[in-house]
Amino acid sequence: MRQFSRRPLLAAPFLLPLAAHAQAPWPDKPVKIIVPFPPGQAADIFTRVYADLLSQRWPQRVVVENRAGGAGAPALEAGARAAPDGYTLTAGTSGTLGVNPSVLPNLPYDAEKDFAFITNVVVLPLMLVAHPSLEANTAQEVIALANRTQGGLDLATAGPATSQHMAAELFAHRTGAKVNMIHYRGSGPAVVDLLAGNVKLMMDSYASARAHLAAGRLKPIAVTTEQRAPQLPNVPTLAETVAPGYRAYGWTGLNAPAATPPAVLAKINADVTAILREPAVMARFIELGGTAAPTTQQAYGDFVRAEIAQWREIARIANVRLEG
């Protein structure tokens, strides 16, 4: 009589839980997004908008973890070294991914190799703003005034190697405007001096300057995005007036560790970009001073690499370097 082994039948029940676990849909636990700045900063504000909506869309909560300090380098290092499983993501920014590679020695992460690029999230226009008493109302007039002013025209920034500073250096390089960079410890102190007329020109973010523009305490000169900002449709761009092709602005995107599975990256991209295209979200971003900027993974990676190349050249020309 033929005999059959019972071992495969005995083993089968032990295989079922393993198979079910292997096929569990992602995410099956909370997802964390590291933001390299304190609460209330632009990257934090915009990240929390879509993180809250992802929490509603996914079966697991999305939490934001703020890790401020060190020009964002410690936070980006933590994001790069996290397990590549999609459960730790990083809000990469114009400063931490675009500028830091060129200005920070011994950077503890490789902005191009250590991350998978998921999507850009928001573009934050910068702009040249001036005290009302400045004898210039257009970018052309600012350049002419700077070049006939003995010693050049003072221009305030939010600090060395910030996006405001780098945008100002690019402006000076592309137009030949003779300006003296006056660095402050953030936009706040710089705007105080600008409002007082102690310095009459500044490269600032729209988000920082908008209340003063609305009240007439400052006047707009030009914005730095390629197209006019939806919040300021009547303010021309530097690209259309004095520097064709000029592009410099703040931005925040979403990144994962480099070895994260492609299927997970594709899902995150699909869900985040769908949220960013919702009319209510687009309107909210504009209200907060930015513009939603959903992209493909490839387009976002290409964008970051172009940013690194642009700011590497400007850092070299202007000799911009930070200690650390």
Q: What is the DSSP letter of 98?
A: I
Cα–Cα–Cα angle for 279, 283, 287, nearest 5°? Answer: 170
**What confidence category does residue 324 fall into, taking pLDDT thresholds of 50, 70 and 90?**
low
The tokens describing 234, both together, are 């009547």
Residue 16 has pLDDT above 80, yes or no: no
Closest among 286, 138, 157, 123 to 219, alpha carbons compared: 138
Tens digit of pLDDT for each residue in 175-187?
Answer: 999 999 999 988 8
The tokens describing 283, both together, are 């309107």
Q: Does residue 159 contact residue 191 with C-beta atoms inside 8 Å?
A: no
- The pLDDT, as a whole number, for residue 187 is 87
* Residue spans in the chain of domains classed CATH 3.40.190.150: 31-124+249-318
Phi, psi angle pair for 219, to nearest 5°: -120, 140
- The pLDDT, as a whole number, for residue 208 is 86
Tens digit of pLDDT for each residue in 155-199?
Answer: 999 999 999 999 999 999 999 999 999 999 888 899 999 999 999
Residues 2-31, buried b or exposed e (16+ Cβ, 10 A)?
eeeeeeeeeeeeeeeeeeeeeeeebbeeeb
Neighbours of 224 (CB within 10 A): 28
Which is more confidently placed, 260 or 41? Answer: 260
Residue 19 has pLDDT above 60, yes or no: no
How far is it, in rounded angstroms, from Cα 213 to Cα 201? 13
Query: Of all residues in the chain, what percent carry a pLDDT higher than 70?
Result: 92
The tokens describing 88, both together, are 């730790």
Residue 132 has pLDDT above 70, yes or no: yes
Tens digit of pLDDT for each residue in 59-90?
Answer: 999 999 999 999 999 999 999 999 999 999 99
Tens digit of pLDDT for each residue in 81-125?
Answer: 999 999 999 999 999 999 999 999 999 999 999 999 999 999 999
The domain made up of 31-124+249-318 has a fold known as D-Maltodextrin-Binding Protein; domain 2 (3.40.190)
Average pLDDT of every residue of the chain = 92
Tens digit of pLDDT for each residue in 227-258?
Answer: 999 999 999 999 999 999 999 999 999 999 99
How far is it, in rounded angstroms, from Cα 236 to Cα 140? 11
Task: Output Rg (C-alpha) for the chain, integer angstroms.
Answer: 24
Residue 24 has pLDDT above 90, yes or no: no
Which is more confidently placed, 235 or 11? Answer: 235
- The pLDDT, as a whole number, for residue 323 is 75
- The pLDDT, as a whole number, for residue 245 is 95
Summarize the confidence of residues 258-280 as an average pLDDT. 98
Neighbours of 280 (CB within 10 A): 9
How far is it, in rounded angstroms, from Cα 25 to Cα 16? 16
| Residue range 125-241 in CATH 1.10.1060.10 | no
* Residue spans in the chain of domains classed CATH 3.40.190.10: 125-241
Distance in Å from the first CA to the final CA of the chain: 80
How far is it, in rounded angstroms, from Cα 68 to Cα 175? 35
3-state helix, strand and coil shares in percent for the chain, rounded to the nearest 5: 45, 20, 35
- The pLDDT, as a whole number, for residue 146 is 98
